[in-house]
Chains A and B, each alone.
Chain A
Amino acid sequence: MTAITVDQAPAPRIGPARTLGNGLTLAWRNVMQLKHSPEKLIDVLMMPVVFLLLFLYVFGGVVAGSTHAYLQQLLPGLVAQMGMFASMGLGTSLCEDIRKGVFDRFRSLPIARSAPLIGAVIGDAVRFCVSMVTLVAFGSLLGFRFHTNPLSVLAAFGLAYALYFAVCWVSVLVGLVAPSPETVQGLGFIWAMPLTFGSSVLLANTGTMPGWLQAWVKVNPVTHLADATRALMVGGPIGDHAWYTLAWAVGIVVVTFPVAVWMYGRKV
C-alpha cells in the first residue's frame, strides 16, 4: 500500500482553546443569522410582554391586593421563567441545521466534535439578553423598580443566565433526539411547563399548594432561581437559593453535555 507522504505526524488533539475558538466562530454564525433574520427574535420579544401583561392583570389583584405590588414579585419570577421558554428555540434550530446538512460540513472539517453544539449554546445568549432587556424595559414602563444595588441586580441576571445556559443543553438534547423541528417545540413545552409553573415564579408564597406539589416546587431549580432573583432585585433574605441554583446549573451541564456530544457523534 503506497501511502502518500504528506504530514504523517499524528495531529495534535484539538485542545480546549481550539474548541472554544471554533465554538465562538460558530456562535458568531448564530448572531449573524439573527442579524439577517431579526424575525427569529419575535418570540423572545413578545413572550415577556405577553406574560407580563397576562399574569400581572389576571393574578395581580388576587395575589397581592394590587397589580403594582404584584409586579414587584412577578418580574423577578419572570426573569427565572423566560429563560426556560427562550431556550426551546435552540433545539428547534439545531434540529433544522442537522436536517439541512449544514452540520455535515462542520463534521467533515478538522474541528472539535463538540464545537457546533458549544457554538449554538453560546450564540443563544443573544436570545437570553433580548428577552431580559424586553422584560425589564416593559416592566419598568408598568412601574417595576429595582430596590437593591446594581451589583445584586447583575448577580441576579448572572444566576438566571447560569441556569439558562444549563437548560440550553437540555434543549440541545431534545433537538438531537427529535425527529423533526416541529416536535422539538412540542417536547419543549412538556418539560418547560412543570419546571416554570410548578415553581415559585408566579407566587412567592407556595404554602397553599398541596404537599406533593410543594415537594416538587422545593427541589425545582426554577424555584431556587426565582427566590434568588427576587431577593437580589427587590430585597429580602436570599438564603441558599443562589447556591442551589448554581449547583443545579452545574449538575445539569455535567450530565447533559457529554450525552449531547455523544449523541451528536452517533447521529448519522
Chain B
Amino acid sequence: MVIDTQGLSFNFGSQPVVSSLSLQVPEGSIYGFLGPNGAGKTTTIKLLLNLLKTDRGSIHIFGKELNSNRIAILSQIGSLIEQPAIYSHLTGKENLMNRALLLQVAETRVDEILDLVQLKNAANKKAGKYSLGMKQRLGIGLALLPDPKLLILDEPTNGLDPNGIIEIRELLIRLVSRHQKTVFVSSHLLGEIERMATHVGIIDRGELLFQGSIADLQSISQPQIHIEVENTVDAANFLVKHGFTVNEINEDHITVPFASKTQMAEINALLIRNNYPVFSIHKTQKDLEKLFLDITQKA
C-alpha cells in the first residue's frame, strides 16, 4: 500500500472532522476520494501531508510512519491542496523556478512542465493575472515538478472548463499507466472519479462509508431489468401476481431486480403470452450517482 491509515481521527476543537478513517491506497492506482463538500476530504489530505497533527490513529506512506519519516516521505509526494498556492507577483515560470530552486530540480524540467500543463505561452505573464483554470494548471504543474511517486490532489479540476477537465484526467491516467505513479485525488463529483479512478473511497461527515475498486462499487449496485411495455401499471400488477418484485413503475417502463438471464427470458415470455406487448427489455446497472446518494444519505 502506498497510503495506509489506521483509525485516523482529527477534531477541530470538540467537533470531530475525521473519525477512525482507514484508507488503503494501492500502488499504481488512481484513488478517487469522494465525498460531498465539508465531508472531511481536505482535512484528511492535510493529515496525510503532516500539515495537521493526527489526534488518534496512524499514517503510513510508502510503508513508513509519517511523523518519524516526514522529510523522506514528503520528498516523494507532489501535492495540490484547495486553491493553488501561487505567488501572484511572480510570473508562472518564476513560480516554477522558485519551487525548482527549493527542490533542486533542473531548469529544463520547468520548461517541460510548462509544456505539459500548457502554460508555455503564458509563462512570462504574472500569475496574478492568470484565469482560474490557468492557476489550477500551474498548481498541478508545481505538484508534478519533482516527478513524485505519489500525487495528492485536492479537487484538481475545480474551475477548469470541460476541455481542461479532460486534459487533466488524461494526464493523470497517463501518469499512472505509463510512469507507474500513484494518484490520490479528491472530488465531490462522482462522474469525474468514475471516469478515471481505479479505486474509490467514499467519505461523509468524516467517516469512510465505502472503500474498494471501482468494480466493487459497481457490483454493490444491484442490476435491474428495464422493461418497456405498453401499459406499465397493469403489467406491473400482473408481474407481482406471478411472484416478481417490481422496483419502479414509470410511464413507459418498469424495473424488476435482475436474478439471471433465464429469469429475464421467462418474464419476457410471460408478458407477451398474456398480451402485454414488450417494446424492449434489457439489463441495467443502477447508476453510480444514485448509489453515491444512497450511500451518503444512509449514514
A and B: interacting chains: no
List residues of chain B with CB under 8 Å of any chain A CB. Answer: none
List residues of chain A with CB under 8 Å of any chain B CB. Answer: none
